[in-house]
Structure 1
Amino acid sequence: MTKGELSNHIALVTGATGGIGTAICHILASHGCSVSMHYNSDQGAAFKLLWDLKQDYEAEFGSKFCVYKADLADYDQVRDLHTHTIETIGPPTILINNAGTTGSHHFPSTIEEIPIEEFERTWRINCGSAYLLTQLCMPAMEGEGWGRVVFISSVAGFTGGLMGPHYASSKSALHGLVHWTANAYANKGVTVNGVAPALIERTKMLPEQSMELTKRIPMGRLGTPEEVAETVFWMLKTAFVTNKIIGVDGGLFPQ
């Protein structure tokens, strides 16, 4: 895929103001894609990203950009996000389900520590909203005979991780969703894949370097949001790759 080859496509990216989401938006825009960017609370970061993309790519490619605030635990707001995207820049043919939450209880040692209310809210944000957006976006992709859906999961979906059962189960559920949806739409020009990062710097989970964590990684360093974004872009441009979940973790966990 060459520079500007995404000029005819529209992407919807959830969680656009986090480190990984912002990097994904930049790599999409740098290849001519119009981008609808979701955020939950960081309005300043959202409008800075909007300004940066407009300044850097709008004139070069004629791309369109918009931002929209939504609480993804509220399915009516998820529907409003999709509607706003269509009304502002058009129907997405690329969907990046990136937004997620770890909840408010981290590193529990027993299952009793996670109330069912937090379990359900975590699931709604991490999995339910991604399911609903995929459901809403799929008809336009089918109509075009071309579509790309990428779920940003976590290595916790493979291993259970440390954040808790609410987080791990919501991320592993995305893996099952990738497999079913990829199989259902493989002959319709739509690919569906997942990326499972771990220990990525400049994110809300790891805003700063941690030497203790770095020592655990075979490569001897943390990953970058740009490396996750490059993996996502490879999935977008490679039509023969579907039904895959790729770990981006410096060799930490074999899959």
Structure 2
Amino acid sequence: MNMQLSPGKDMDAAASIAGKVILYTGAAGGLGVETTLSFLRAGAKVVAIDNDERKTQSLRDAVTREGLAGLTVRAIDLSDLSGLRAELDRVADEVGGFDVVINNAAIYPSKPFEDYSIEDFQMVQRVNVDAGIVCVQAALPHMRKQGWGRIVNIASVTFYGGWANLSPYVQSKGALVGLTRAWAREFGAYGITVNAVAPGAFPTDAEKIHPDPEGYTRFVLDHQAVKRRGSPADIAAALSFLISDAAGFITGQTLNVDGGWVMH
């Protein structure tokens, strides 16, 4: 049977996020800027949480160059969980609540497992996971009240193995995948979907931990089915879809955006 879907508003990803308020941690990072701009171009409002002054200024400059509106920037230390919650509550009052949460911010120390202290593990967990929990707690009442919400946790290709010296980071990404599934099950009754996006090896500042950049690029391309490096636009497209009405029947999933590195 040949069925055709009409290109109505409900299936138009860009149109369905217009007017939505997106809480986005790490929004000024290597993968965050292009995504933030794509949301603003679609008419959404973005509350960008990022405490890197240089990066946030670059984000503001990019928004200004395009003549876009709707950006709010807050410099918050994500390891200060009580301060984060207080600031999010203030911002939520200003913007009328958060419709979408994207937990993207992360720290990624690299050294052999035996060189990490338990405090190192706890700090990575605090920034990469606990801060995301606080963001969801701040957004959930509004989402439940309106019967609609989108939560996306940014996982990582490292969760599938293949990288040494990143134990706390990989642990934190595994926790986010687990929370994705737990929240999806619990929040689905309120019209809230929860998914994860696992980026592959994108050329961002995170790659500076590798001592041989050219060799690392060869390693990446050897593992990918698609023989090019990923771009921020690839992540922007995936996120724009998952937070739209078009993805309303998708929840509890981890979408690998990695050029075919990991396949299920």
TM-score (structure 2 length as normaliser): 0.85
1:158 aligns with 2:160: yes
Q: Report the 3-state secondary structure (helix = DSSP H, G, I; strand = E; otherwise coil) of the residue aligned with 2:151.
A: strand
Query: Equivalent residue for 1:85?
Result: 91
**Mapping for residues 86-165 of structure 1, pairs under 5 Å:** 86-103=92-109, 106-108=110-112, 111-159=113-161, 161-165=163-167
**Alpha-carbon offset, residue 128 of structure 1:** 0.7
Q: In 1, distance between residues paired with 2:88 and 2:127?
A: 15
8 Å Cα contact 1:54-1:65 kept in structure 2: no
**Alpha-carbon offset, residue 47 of structure 1:** 2.7
Q: In 2, distance between residues paired with 1:55 and 1:85?
A: 25
Q: Report the 3-state secondary structure (helix = DSSP H, G, I; strand = E; otherwise coil) of the residue aligned with 2:128.
A: helix
Q: In 1, distance between residues paired with 2:67 and 2:144?
A: 28
Query: Equivalent residue for 1:240?
Result: 249
Query: Equivalent residue for 1:173?
Result: 175
8 Å Cα contact 1:17-1:39 kept in structure 2: yes
Closer, same or farther: CA 248–163 of 1 in aligned 2, 3 Å: farther
Q: Report the 3-state secondary structure (helix = DSSP H, G, I; strand = E; otherwise coil) of the residue aligned with 1:19.
A: coil
Q: In 2, distance between residues paired with 1:245 and 1:136?
A: 23
Amino acid at match of 1:224: S
Q: Report the 3-state secondary structure (helix = DSSP H, G, I; strand = E; otherwise coil) of the residue aligned with 2:31.
A: helix
**Alpha-carbon offset, residue 239 of structure 1:** 0.6
> Which of 189, 213, 221 is the matching residue for 2:228?
221
Closer, same or farther: CA 9–218 of 1 in aligned 2, 3 Å: same
Gaps of 5+ in 1: none
Amino acid at match of 2:205: K
After the TM superposition, which of the residue ranges 68-77 and 43-52 deviates more from structure 2? Answer: 43-52
Amino acid at match of 1:228: I
Which has the higher relative contact order, 1 or 2, with Cα contacts under 8 A spaced 6 or more apart?
2
Taking only the aligned residue pairs, the percentage that are identical comes to 27
1:253 aligns with 2:258: no
TM-score (structure 1 length as normaliser): 0.88
Query: Equivalent residue for 1:211?
Result: 218
**Alpha-carbon offset, residue 132 of structure 1:** 1.3
> Which of 78, 91, 101 is the matching residue for 1:72?
78
RMSD over equivalenced CA pairs, Å: 2.0
Q: Encode CA deviations 1:66-109: one digit per residue, 9 max, x unaligned.
A: 10111111102321441343244331101110000112xx152x
Q: Encode CA deviations 1:132-187: one digit per residue, 9 max, x unaligned.
A: 11111111011111100000111222337334211111100001100010001112
Q: Encode CA deviations 1:180-200: one digit per residue, 9 max, x unaligned.
A: 100011121110000011211
Q: Report the 3-state secondary structure (helix = DSSP H, G, I; strand = E; otherwise coil) of the residue aligned with 2:223.
A: coil
After the TM superposition, which parts of structure 1 deviate over 4 Å for at least 4 consecutive aligned residues? Answer: none
Amino acid at match of 2:220: L
Query: Equivalent residue for 1:47?
Result: 57
Q: In 2, distance between residues paired with 1:222 and 1:141?
A: 36
**Alpha-carbon offset, residue 215 of structure 1:** 3.0
Q: Report the 3-state secondary structure (helix = DSSP H, G, I; strand = E; otherwise coil) of the residue aligned with 1:205.
A: helix
Amino acid at match of 1:194: A
8 Å Cα contact 2:40-2:70 kept in structure 1: no
